[in-house]
Every structure is written in structure tokens, then in C-alpha cells.
Copies of this chain bind each other. A is one copy, B any other.
Amino acid sequence: MPGEPLAEGVLDLLGLLAYASLTAFFRISDDAALALSLPDKTALAELAVAEFGHFQLLRDRIEELAADPTTVMQPFVGPIDAFHARTAPSDWLEGLVKAYVGDEIAADFYRAVARVLDPASQQLVLAVLADTGKTEFIVARVREAIEADPRVAGRLGLWARRLVGEALGQAQRVAADREPLARLLVGDATSQLGDIGRMFAQLTDAHAARMAALGLAD
């Protein structure tokens, strides 16, 4: 049954992305409460609401596939909750950088996985992708903060590196536990873990380039 493992991997992927989006909604809403001004609070809330929109699209697709969203998301609750527990922002700027890094890495990941999906899932992933990247205000705020106090760049650079490290740690845990998902992402290559490593390396490189553009030490 060559179709079976692929379908299973796709459900895993949709469940992972759905729970990640739902959790991002709650985390970013929480972090928005740290904003000092109403416009900043509102801008971050808008990002949170966009994440909830992604969750709704992904959940609807899971239901279309006659699966139960809660069941499909369940395997990813542990790793994603662990990621957020280990990366609670301690102030407004850390919250901004976390929202930015999360949004951009999610976009890279969506771009990377879109190629390996069936047409309907691919269309969905591209729709979500088109709705990411509304983070200009974050770039502006972080640059202002660095201009006001250049030492902020070092602190936030370390923070961004820690975010990526924690994300990769949980991603490797997921890849090791969910063979069909790993197979979906890297094909049937013999050295699967090596290929996942290469995909992660590409995501990390793109992240480093963005951090440099943002003025953060890496």
C-alpha cells in the first residue's frame, strides 16, 4: 500500500501545523499583554489572530480527510508545549522576537513542505504561507530598541539563538518519533536523518541571515 504511509504522514503534518498555530495564537495573545502602547498591543494581537486563522484552515482540512483534529494533534502537544514552556519571553522585546522568529521559520517550513504534498494540502499550505510575514512593525520596533541601546542586540541575538535551538531540539524529537512524517519530509532516501539534518540546516541558515538583517548579533 504505497499510498498509506504518505497519507499518514500528511495527517501528522497537518496535526503538527494545526497545534503549532493554535498554540501560537495563545502564546502571542499572552505576550501582547506586555505591550506598553495600544497600537503595539493591537499589532501583536493581529498576528495572534492570523495564527488562529491558520489553525482553522488546517483543522478544516483534517476534518475533510475524515479525521478527528484532537486525535491528530495529540502527538505534538507534548513537544510544542515543551517548546513554549522553555521559551517564555521575559519582556516585550523578547515576545516580539519570538513572534518574528516563529512566523519566519514557519514560513520557511511551509515553503519546504509544500513541494512534497498532494495538491489539496499543497494549496492549503500555500494559502497559510501567503498570510505570514506581517511582521514589519516588529522589525521597526526591534531596530528602534537597538538604536536606543546597542547592548539590546547582543541580548536579543542570544535569545533568538536559544529559540531556534529549542525548536530544533523538539523538531528532532518529533522526527525520531513519527517515522511517516519524517519520510514525507525527506522522501524514501536511505539516510533519512541526514536529509532531515540538511533541511534543518537550511532553515537555520535562512534564520541567521534574517537575524543579521534585523541587526541582531548571531
Interface residues of A (CB under 8 A from B): 22, 25-26, 29-30, 32-33, 37-39, 41-42, 45-46, 48-49, 52-53, 55, 59, 69-70, 73
Contacts and interface: CB of A to CB of B under 8 A. Distances in A.
Contacts of A49: 49, 52-53
Contact of A73 (B22, B38, B53, B69): B38
Contact of A39 (B30, B46, B70): B70
A44 to B, nearest CB: 11
A123 to B, nearest CB: 23
Contacts of A70: 37-39
B45 A25 contact: yes
Contacts of A32: 26
A143 B42 CA distance: 35
5 contacts: A22-B42, A25-B45, A26-B29, A29-B30, A37-B70
